């Protein structure tokens, strides 16, 4: 038996705004940051559990404070008891009535719960000697549904329906795992399309994306319609007719405006329209989706919880679900969202980029392929080529595909030197 | 000219869980708390601006940290410039791209913005020598819409439509104000119905409510159906046929469960069904509302922002909008919600109770009566009889009606002795 003996927290901020990496129509100058935690035990096995919430700068200290406030739920606890019942741990934190008031199940406190839950998953995977995706894909259907809270979902997905989805995918798990290990998981790249880049950089990065084997790129839009048309033309002329181009408006539009704007971009061939309007607006997304069909609407990086995901799927407001590793309350809630998406037949293409999101979401997509939806068709993981060097097991993307990770853990572990160097305040 | 020279913050917690005041099916043991702030200026006029976020205990420290993180936006600033453009101040904070990531527009960071915005409103009202409701009801329609951000609302409510609503209410403002000062604003009481109270206390408090002139009470339900039927019978037998009884499930039900449960309670005469399920579930509330009509669904105390309010109204998921003074980002966003409700013809009956919520929401309801909806019909303000003694200007409720406040300010100011005495940690 071992105990959790400490939760170390760190306010880590990278000064990305200096180079306009990550710049879009809503976020002109993000400083990619992580409210980071490390759980240590007295097991003496050298394993720690790492987790974080991705933010874009100011307020990262508040996010750290929220994580710290959860220390009493883990520090001093029996580590095996926690790790053996992560479904129970999730419920205890998410349904703590006093903490719940601060959301409920959304925003700073909900994301803090997610970071702690994910740190425990990281520890569990390390103890098992498995990358998280393999750990999850090795659980039985019953073990998987025990991780999920079906409260507020039953009008769209029951526990029994979830079990059936998982059971249907079970017989061919080994085949798909072998395929994944051989072929990798499809990726697309957002690196060319940040709004702050000039035309030359846009064209150069588009060429590089094609040369690197990507079959889809993403371009940020939404600030200026004529500029968007001009930039999309450059992108299309550069990548040719066969590479898919998705556009991402980062919530800039009103409902009617989105429909008009997309009509102006559609002639260039648009793979999906991402975050056309406010991420809470289920009905608005559904109206846009109806108007721009067959171009699908993509959203998810700001989807607060599984109840919002349920509604987006029920209303037809999402055609590509972009779940995020640190927006909701951890792996457990992401599994609920994967199951909901499978029920509605909507592909999941996780949001990544940021700090460490690529490292984390790949595990969710690969678990989905092996054990939930059972397919990688129409699915790909976002890839952005920055800040990977700060992680203990950086993603490997080759020929436009994620190589399935083999290093034990969830991918969240950052290098100690990076945590120290970019600790805020104190960056150069 | 004066400057804001300090933001004092306090973690104030009242040990209400000791007596089960405020106990319901989701919140068995709340400790009513306030993440409290005070803005001081160098004007030398003795006025400070007070604001807070209501929480129910654990995590109040995180809420205080979020408020503190906003100090740079106000401390050192020109006070008159801030107070003269509270619409601009609201936009600056809510649309700060880095802070926005932490919601967006929901949870801890959004409520923190609301507390700071409200502290400025308190200061502005004190400087004007007016209670907040009179200050707001004295603004022109243009001044009022300038306070509101119509972003993401235009598919339901435009600035022009809002101006028309306000213009229509303008001619009779003085008459309604005179009526309000004479008659007071209707109230209902939740004091009898907390789930933790025994039958004797329930019946006694029901009798007292009727004797005190209330024409509506509210009973908490949702933990045990047979118990609910028993308690509703006691309540109905005690108050007689003419007093309205609302029930409040505090989010305990699934969609189908809510419909069944309400059918069991309906024979006792139910005025409205409050928070039947998860507060994010627009579509679920709409399904319940269709099934239990003509009994209306009431919700709002956990409605994260105006975009959620818009959807609840569009989908018919809310028949009684219970906006809350500290859940959203302050007076400005509450005005947006009042305008949306007026557009859709849905009555607003604010959520109160808690700590200081009665003191604050009365201003919103009275402003609505005088200048927005132009009516108090089908409208009442919740009243809970506790913790008022800690406020500088406690509400006055007589014969089941709120007496319109005359003391300058927003109602948020707590007595210094109470802030000191209930500072956490350190309560007895």
CB A184, CB A404: distance < 8 Å: yes
Q: Nearest chain A Cα to B95, which residue?
A: A26
DSSP H helical ranges for B322-412: 330-344, 357-367
A101/B54 Cα distance (integer angstroms): 9
Question: Mean pLDDT, chain B, as a whole number?
Answer: 96
Residue A166, token pair as written in the block: 């998982």
Active-site residue flag, B95: no
Pairing mode of beta strands B216-220, B185-193: parallel
Res B196: pLDDT: 83
Residue B411, token pair as written in the block: 């109602």
| % of chain B beyond a pLDDT of 90 | 93
Pairing mode of beta strands A185-193, A401-402: antiparallel
| pLDDT average, residue stretch B113-131 | 98
Q: Is the backbone peptide bond immediately before B111 cis, with ω within 30 degrees of 0?
A: no
Dihedral (Cα; B260, B261, B263, B269), 10-degree rounding: -160
Is B7 in a helix, a strand, or coil?
A: strand
Cross-chain Cβ contact B97/A282 below 8 Å: no
With tokens 């029930």, the residue in question is: B247
Predicted TM-score of the model (pTM): 0.97
Res B427: pLDDT: 46
A232/A270 Cα distance (integer angstroms): 9
Among A35, A306, A290, A51, smallest CA distance to A153 is for: A306
Cross-chain Cβ contact A281/B310 below 8 Å: yes
Cross-chain Cβ contact A104/B154 below 8 Å: no
Q: Chain B: nearest CA to A99, how far in angstroms?
A: 6
DSSP per residue over B64-132, as a string? HHHHHTTGGGTTTSBHHHHHHTHHHHHHHHHT-HHHHTTSSS-HHHHHHHHHHHHHHHHHHHHHHTSBH
Q: Nearest chain A Cα to B154, which residue?
A: A254
Cross-chain Cβ contact A283/B281 below 8 Å: no
Q: Chain B: nearest CA to A100, how far in angstroms?
A: 9
> Which residues between 164 and 193 in chain A have a beta carbon less than 8 angstroms from any beta carbon of chain B?
none
> Which residues between 303 and 362 in chain A have a beta carbon less than 8 angstroms from any beta carbon of chain B?
304-305, 307-308, 310-311, 314-315
Annotated catalytic residue within B50, B351, B363, B390: B351
Q: Is the backbone peptide bond immediately before B384 cis, with ω within 30 degrees of 0?
A: no
Give contacts of A27 with chain B, Cβ < 8 Å. Answer: 97-98, 101
> Which residues between 57 and 86 in chain B have a beta carbon less than 8 angstroms from any beta carbon of chain A?
57-59, 61-63, 65-66, 69
A64/A62 Cα distance (integer angstroms): 5
Q: Is B161 exposed, middle or buried (0-12, 13-18, 19+ CB in 10 A)?
A: middle
Res A426: pLDDT: 55
DSSP per residue over A110-142, as a string? HHHHHHHHHHHHHHHHHHHTSBHHHHHHTS-HH
Residue B20, token pair as written in the block: 């089960």
Res A194: pLDDT: 84
Q: Which domains does chain B have, with CATH numbers?
A: 4-129 (3.30.390.10), 173-418 (3.20.20.120)
Cross-chain Cβ contact A109/B108 below 8 Å: yes
**Residue B425 has what DSSP assignment?**
S
CB B313, CB B346: distance < 8 Å: yes
Residue A279, token pair as written in the block: 């991420």
CB A106, CB A35: distance < 8 Å: no
CB A402, CB A408: distance < 8 Å: no
Cross-chain Cβ contact B302/A62 below 8 Å: no
Res A130: pLDDT: 98
Pairing mode of beta strands A244-248, A48-55: unpaired
B15/B21 Cα distance (integer angstroms): 10
Q: Is A237 exposed, middle or buried (0-12, 13-18, 19+ CB in 10 A)?
A: exposed
Res B426: pLDDT: 55
Q: Is B173 exposed, middle or buried (0-12, 13-18, 19+ CB in 10 A)?
A: middle
Q: Chain B: nearest CA to A385, how far in angstroms?
A: 21
| Chain B CB within 8 Å of residue A21 CB | no
pLDDT digits (tens, 9 = 90+) for B374-393: 999 999 999 998 899 999 99
Q: Is A294 exposed, middle or buried (0-12, 13-18, 19+ CB in 10 A)?
A: exposed
Cross-chain Cβ contact A66/B69 below 8 Å: no
Q: What is the CA radius of gyration of chain A?
A: 20
Res A427: pLDDT: 46
Is B139 in a helix, a strand, or coil?
A: coil
Q: Chain A: nearest CA to B341, how far in angstroms?
A: 17
Residue B399, phi-psi category: left (phi > 0), alpha (psi -120 to 50), beta (remainder):
left
Cross-chain Cβ contact B283/A101 below 8 Å: no
CB B188, CB B214: distance < 8 Å: yes
Residue B316 has pLDDT above 80, yes or no: yes
Residues of chain A with pLDDT under 50: 427-428
Residue A231, token pair as written in the block: 């930039």
Among A275, A257, A252, A261, smallest CA distance to A232 is for: A261
CB B274, CB B299: distance < 8 Å: yes
With tokens 């069904």, the residue in question is: B273
Pairing mode of beta strands A4-13, A33-41: antiparallel
**Three state DSSP letters for B197-262:** CCHHHHHHHHHHHHHCCCCEEEEECCCCHHHHHHHHHHHHHHHCCCCEEEEECCCCCCHHHHHHHH
Residue B209, token pair as written in the block: 């409510």
| Chain A CB within 8 Å of residue B378 CB | no
CB B105, CB A280: distance < 8 Å: yes
Residue B100 to residues A20, B119, B240: CA-CA distances in angstroms?
18, 20, 50
Q: Which residue has the higher pLDDT, B193 or A310?
A: A310
Residue A293, token pair as written in the block: 């069909």
Angle (nearest 5°) at CA B307 between B304 and B312: 85
**Residue A167 has what DSSP assignment?**
H
Catalytic machinery residues of A: 220, 351
The closest CB to that of B308, out of A62, A103, A280, belongs to A280
ipTM over 0.85 threshold:
yes
**Residue A37 has what DSSP assignment?**
E
Cross-chain Cβ contact B251/A104 below 8 Å: yes
Give contacts of B315 with chain A, Cβ < 8 Å. Answer: 283
The closest CB to that of A97, out of B26, B255, B284, belongs to B26
Q: H or E stretch including B199?
A: helix B199-211
B91/B73 Cα distance (integer angstroms): 12
Q: Angle at which helices B107-128 and B60-68 pack, to 10 degrees?
A: 60
């Amino acid at each position: 038996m071992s105990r959790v003996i400490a939760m170390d927290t760190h306010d880590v901020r990278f000064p990305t705004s200096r180079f306009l990496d990550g710049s879009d129509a809503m976020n002109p100058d993000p400083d990619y940051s992580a409210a980071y935690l490390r759980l240590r035990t007295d097991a003496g096995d050298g394993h720690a559990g790492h987790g974080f919430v991705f933010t874009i700068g100011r307020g990262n200290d508040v996010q750290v404070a929220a994580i710290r406030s959860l220390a009493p739920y883990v520090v001093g606890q029996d580590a095996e008891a926690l790790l053996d019942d992560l479904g129970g741990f999730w419920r205890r934190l998410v349904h703590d009535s006093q903490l719940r008031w601060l959301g409920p199940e959304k925003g700073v406190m909900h994301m803090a719960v997610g970071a702690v839950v994910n740190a425990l998953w990281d520890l569990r995977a390390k103890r098992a000697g498995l990358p998280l995706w393999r750990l999850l894909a090795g659980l039985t259907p019953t073990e998987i549904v025990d991780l999920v809270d079906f409260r507020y979902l039953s009008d769209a997905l029951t526990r029994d329906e979830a079990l059936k989805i998982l059971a249907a995918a079970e017989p061919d798990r080994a085949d798909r795992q072998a395929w994944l290990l051989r072929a990798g998981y499809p990726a697309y790249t957002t690196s060319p399309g940040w709004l702050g880049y000039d035309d030359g950089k846009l064209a150069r990065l588009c060429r590089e994306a094609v040369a690197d084997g990507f079959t889809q790129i993403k371009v940020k839009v939404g600030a200026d319609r004529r500029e968007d048309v001009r930039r999309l033309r450059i992108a299309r002329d550069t990548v040719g007719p066969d590479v898919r181009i998705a556009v991402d408006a980062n919530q800039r539009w009103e409902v009617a405006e989105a429909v008009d704007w997309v009509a102006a971009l559609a002639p260039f061939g648009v793979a999906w329209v991402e975050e056309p309007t406010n991420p809470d607006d289920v009905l608005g997304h559904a109206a846009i989706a109806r108007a721009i069909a067959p171009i699908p609407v993509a959203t998810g990086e700001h989807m607060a919880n599984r109840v919002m995901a349920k509604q987006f799927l029920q209303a037809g407001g999402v055609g590509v679900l972009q779940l995020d590793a640190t927006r909701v309350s951890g792996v457990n809630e992401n599994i609920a969202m994967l199951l909901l998406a499978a029920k509605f037949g909507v592909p999941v293409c996780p949001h990544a980029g940021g700090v460490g999101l690529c490292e984390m979401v790949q595990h969710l997509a690969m678990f989905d392929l092996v054990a939930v939806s059972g397919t990688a068709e129409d699915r790909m993981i976002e890839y952005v080529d920055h800040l990977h060097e700060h992680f203990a097991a950086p993603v490997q993307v080759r020929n436009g595909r994620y190589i399935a990770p083999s290093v034990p853990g969830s991918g969240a572990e950052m290098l100690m030197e990076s945590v120290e160097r970019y600790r805020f305040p104190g960056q150069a």
